[in-house]
A and B are shown apart, each in its own frame.
Chain A
Amino acid sequence: MNIFPEAVSTYAHEMDKLFWLITLFAGLGFFITIGILIYALIRFRYSPQRKPMTFRGNTFREFRWVALGMALLAFADFYVLYDEHDTWDKMMQTVPEEKDLHIAITGRQWNWIFTYPGPDGKLYTADDVIINEPNSTIHVPIHKNVVFDIRSVDVIHSVFLKEARFKYDAIPGRTITKWVQFHRPGKYEIICAELCGVLHSKMRNFIMVESEEVFQQWLDELYAGTNE
């Protein structure tokens, strides 16, 4: 078993590295604290002769070990924030200038609706192509910036591409623009990650990542209305 699903987007590896960094800190915190706890329980177990200590932690000398623990945690916390910030900036705070493919993905009960720009290459014009059926598969090119406009027509949904470490809520009334760049071809599931009603667990579509040429061919067929 692998801890994570296959990492197929440009920021997926950074996310996984962040996981291991946090695991290092959390693991150290866990084993040190549990170690001290178990040591104390054994070392200071009841004996009629033992005179328990009486310190109350009121002086800094007594308190320093707890203070050290808090300082280490503070360091770990801020190191994680510092380390992750580039990834956050890349994923959340920027959308690439160069939008190689700009599509809208709209949640409804219970499937995703995909809107491809028509032959004019612009989204939200009259020649847009809409794919609206359960279990449909959309195609995107590999190594290209794919920009999603995430929307919803009814309740809150959430686009989850676990292999890409991509997840954003689809909120009625808002258009949220996020991007992803795949670097491994394959067919991945698009899961809805926010409870959206009775058939929430059946809300499924697919995304096919393939080379530029194959994608263009699919797109041409889509425009011609001849693909499956």
Chain B
Amino acid sequence: MATHTQSFWTKYIFSQDHKVIGAQYLIVGLIMAAVAGFFAYVFRYHLAYPDAEIPLWGTLDPRTYNMLVTTHGALMIFWVAMPILVAAIGNYLIPTMLGTDDMAFPFLNMLSFWVFFLSAVVVVASLFVPGGGFDGGWTLYPPLSVDAYLNTNPDFWKALFSGGSLVILALALEFASMLMGGINFMVTTINKRARGMSFSRMPILVWFMNFSVVTFMFSVGPVIAGALMLLLDRVAGTGFYDAYRGGDPILFQHLFWFFGHPEVYVLLFPTLGVIGEIIPTFSRKPLFGYKFIIWASIVAIVLSMVVWAHHQFVAGINPYMAVFFSVGTILISIPFAGIILSYVATIFGGNIRLELPMWWAVGFLATFLIGGLTGLYLGSNTFDIYAHDTSFVVAHFHYTLFPITFFGFFAAFYYWFPKFTGRMYNDFLGKLHFWGTFIFFQLFALPIFFLGLNGQPRRMSDYTAFETLMQDWHIQFREIATISAILLILTQFIWLYNFIVSLWKGKRVSSDNPWQANTLEWQAPSPPPHGNFEVYPEVYRDPYTFGVVQVNGKQKDFIPQNEKLPS
């Protein structure tokens, strides 16, 4: 246990403690979520009521609309989901679950956060530079994202301090930060496990966190090269993506999606880990298919590297090649279906305590199931020709990324809140928050599927130019989606209130292990002090030993990993 003294600055600002760094990531991620959520409110309002003045905003012109949609997408993926799911949850849980005092490289960990913070500052600054924020779509497709074709002689400084270039720089900083964090995760996992914790005794969440950062590291290289060329096209007048000078705009799409598709799994894996911890604990039953889940994830990672062109079926790639990517895409559904079914099998036959974290876990499974199954429509190369670039895609990825990001985060939040604060949240407000989020999310995203199937393209600032897209039911469905989205955002204030009040006034937990779970973080004091453990635990078994057993003549239905049984 660490005993050195800490000043305010080293304790809360330039902290090297993994829990403080996790909290810092979380706070920045939540602030960015508030910004991105507000943008979503503005443009959703505009879609439902194209002529109306938007409360708290005013009127919206098409350029600003494009900018808001672009920024919403980029922020939610790179500055909300990445820091919260990977960095915050990973930082909080990897050292505590492994029974160690901190990350392997605490200084690198701190550096990782501050580079991330800088990236967040840069991306916010990109909204305020002359010329306005970037409005070319979060996928940055050139030539649109180069501002002009035949951009042969740009003004270097002006081009550098423009919205698009700053977004690219912010992404570069963010990637650097996540690489530092990812290396830390891996080295910590390999070198700092508690005595007795073999790889096969690691909690599934630690496995998934490592899968997440490994997937990120494998896939991020090409997009860095692609973004650099894009930046040069913007600021130095090169022609990598300019067809008039021998470049090719499709090249960027390949480099981008080679990263962009695995990125989805970078975000999915941490949430699968969170759900994989919560379900056994509340079902009082061992995790089903621990080894299978690990191997299925490895298969999925390998496959995820060869599916990228399914984003480009209509983009002029060779139609014979598309079949290969379509096969890869549908193959990747199989390991993930196996993982989801393993979670259902874990629930089956348990003794299910429907506490709040379990609601979120079940809500994730139900919602993500729709997201996964609607992937079948888009994975089919033929149907994708019709569905591509319509709102069907928008609904599909909100049905995957919303449960991944928010159901995953809230499940983790409610589950580990008593551990890392030492206090309990308000259960009633928590349930209200769950049902509000669950119902309003479905009401928000389901209508968008139908709009998309009826041929409504995405990324349009309004549909008034197209008579066939302005039928009565189209307008009503857009209103339902918008009103539900607003209610969905408002519901989050219940959570915010619950969070803040419980943090100061919540009932103190009477036990360090309120959910009676087996993993090591529950053996630390609540909240864990600097250095986490009073005595470093030693591990004797796997983390999922649930079920009624006799210990010293007493009936127990769980045995923590570090509890030594009399032989």
Q: Is the CB of B383 within 8 A of A15?
A: yes
For A76, what are the chain B residues with a Cβ–Cβ distance below 8 Å? 376
For A77, what are the chain B residues with a Cβ–Cβ distance below 8 Å? 330-331, 333-334, 376, 379
For A91, what are the chain B residues with a Cβ–Cβ distance below 8 Å? 382, 385
A85 and B135 alpha carbons, distance in the complex (Å): 37
Q: Is the CB of B319 within 8 A of A36?
A: no
Q: Is the CB of A191 within 8 A of B473?
A: no
For A40, what are the chain B residues with a Cβ–Cβ distance below 8 Å? 344, 347-350, 352
Q: From the candidates A51, A57, A165, A197, name the one contacting B386 in the complex (CB within 8 A).
A: A165
Q: Counting CB contacts under 8 A, is B466 at the interface?
A: yes
Q: Is the CB of A33 within 8 A of B319?
A: no
For A198, what are the chain B residues with a Cβ–Cβ distance below 8 Å? 62-63, 66, 135
Q: Counting CB contacts under 8 A, is A183 at the interface?
A: no
Q: Is the CB of B341 within 8 A of A66?
A: yes
Q: Is the CB of B468 within 8 A of A70?
A: no
A residues 169-221 touching B (CB-CB < 8 Å): 169, 171-174, 176, 189, 191-202, 204
Q: Is the CB of B344 within 8 A of A51?
A: no
Evaluate whether A52 and B385 lie within 8 angstroms (CB atoms) in the complex, with A77-B376, A84-B380, A88-B319 already known. no
Q: Counting CB contacts under 8 A, is B465 at the interface?
A: yes
Binds A, one of B37-45, B364-372, B489-497: B364-372
Q: Is the CB of A3 within 8 A of B465?
A: no
Minimal Cβ-Cβ distance residue in B for A192 = B457
Binds A, one of B173-181, B263-271, B286-294: B286-294
Minimal Cβ-Cβ distance residue in B for A23 = B377
For A166, what are the chain B residues with a Cβ–Cβ distance below 8 Å? 385
Closest Cβ of chain A to B432, distance in Å, is: 20
Evaluate whether A22 and B66 lie within 8 angstroms (CB atoms) in the complex, with A55-B349, A66-B289, A69-B341 already known. no
Closest Cβ of chain B to A200, distance in Å, is: 6
B328-350 interface mask toward A, CB cutoff 8 Å, 1 = contact, 0 = none?
00110110011011101101111
Q: Is the CB of B316 within 8 A of A176?
A: yes
- Say which size band chain B's interface belongs to: 35 or more
Q: From the candidates A33, A70, A73, name the one contacting B344 in the complex (CB within 8 A).
A: A33
Q: Is the CB of B382 within 8 A of A18?
A: yes
Q: Counting CB contacts under 8 A, is A125 at the interface?
A: no
Q: Is the CB of A171 within 8 A of B315?
A: yes
Q: From the candidates A66, A81, A174, A194, name the one contacting B345 in the complex (CB within 8 A).
A: A66
Q: From the candidates A53, A85, A168, A196, name the one contacting B314 in the complex (CB within 8 A).
A: A168
Q: Counting CB contacts under 8 A, is B152 at the interface?
A: no
Q: Counting CB contacts under 8 A, is A1 at the interface?
A: yes
Q: Is the CB of A18 within 8 A of B383?
A: yes
Closest Cβ of chain A to B87, distance in Å, is: 30
B447-473 interface mask toward A, CB cutoff 8 Å, 1 = contact, 0 = none?
000100111010111110111100101
Closest Cβ of chain A to B514, distance in Å, is: 15
Binds A, one of B11-19, B155-163, B190-198, B243-251: B243-251
Q: Is the CB of B349 within 8 A of A52?
A: yes
A202 and B50 alpha carbons, distance in the complex (Å): 13
Q: Counting CB contacts under 8 A, is A2 at the interface?
A: yes
Q: Is the CB of B334 within 8 A of A33?
A: no
Q: Is the CB of B380 within 8 A of A81?
A: yes
A19 and B349 alpha carbons, distance in the complex (Å): 36
Q: Is the CB of B547 within 8 A of A74?
A: no
A155 and B383 alpha carbons, distance in the complex (Å): 25
Interface hub of A74, A163, A173, A193 (most chain B Cβ within 10 A): A173
Q: Is the CB of A15 within 8 A of B338?
A: no
For B562, what are the chain A residues with a Cβ–Cβ distance below 8 Å? none
Q: Is the CB of B330 within 8 A of A172?
A: no
Minimal Cβ-Cβ distance residue in A for B320 = A93
Q: Is the CB of B454 within 8 A of A201?
A: no
Binds B, one of A24-32, A115-123, A141-149: A24-32
Q: Counting CB contacts under 8 A, is A47 at the interface?
A: yes
Closest Cβ of chain A to B291, distance in Å, is: 7
Q: Is the CB of B381 within 8 A of A88?
A: yes
A11 and B249 alpha carbons, distance in the complex (Å): 29
Q: Counting CB contacts under 8 A, is A63 at the interface?
A: yes
Q: Counting CB contacts under 8 A, is B529 at the interface?
A: no
B residues 355-377 touching A (CB-CB < 8 Å): 362, 365-366, 369-370, 373-374, 376-377
A residues 104-150 touching B (CB-CB < 8 Å): none
Closest Cβ of chain A to B321, distance in Å, is: 11
B112-151 interface mask toward A, CB cutoff 8 Å, 1 = contact, 0 = none?
0000000000000000000000011100010110000100
> Please, could you name 7 A-B residue pairs with CB atoms under 8 Å apart, sorted by A?
A19-B383, A19-B453, A53-B349, A55-B288, A62-B288, A85-B323, A158-B314
Top 6 nearest A-B pairs by Cβ distance? A173-B243, A162-B455, A53-B349, A92-B319, A57-B289, A77-B330
Known interface pairs A18-B383, A197-B144; 12 further A-B residue pairs with C-beta atoms within 8 A, sorted by A's residue number: A41-B352, A41-B354, A57-B292, A63-B292, A65-B341, A70-B338, A81-B380, A88-B381, A171-B243, A171-B315, A194-B389, A199-B62
Residues on B lying within 8 angstroms of A by beta carbon are 62-63, 66, 135-137, 141, 143-144, 149, 242-244, 247-250, 283-292, 314-316, 319-320, 322-323, 326-327, 330-331, 333-334, 337-338, 340-342, 344-345, 347-354, 362, 365-366, 369-370, 373-374, 376-377, 379-383, 385-386, 388-390, 450, 453-455, 457, 459-463, 465-468, 471, 473, 544, 546-548, 557
Residues on A lying within 8 angstroms of B by beta carbon are 1-5, 15, 18-19, 22, 25-26, 29-30, 33-34, 36-37, 40-41, 44-47, 50-58, 62-63, 65-66, 69-70, 73-74, 76-78, 80-81, 84-85, 87-88, 91-93, 154-156, 158, 160, 162-163, 165-169, 171-174, 176, 189, 191-202, 204
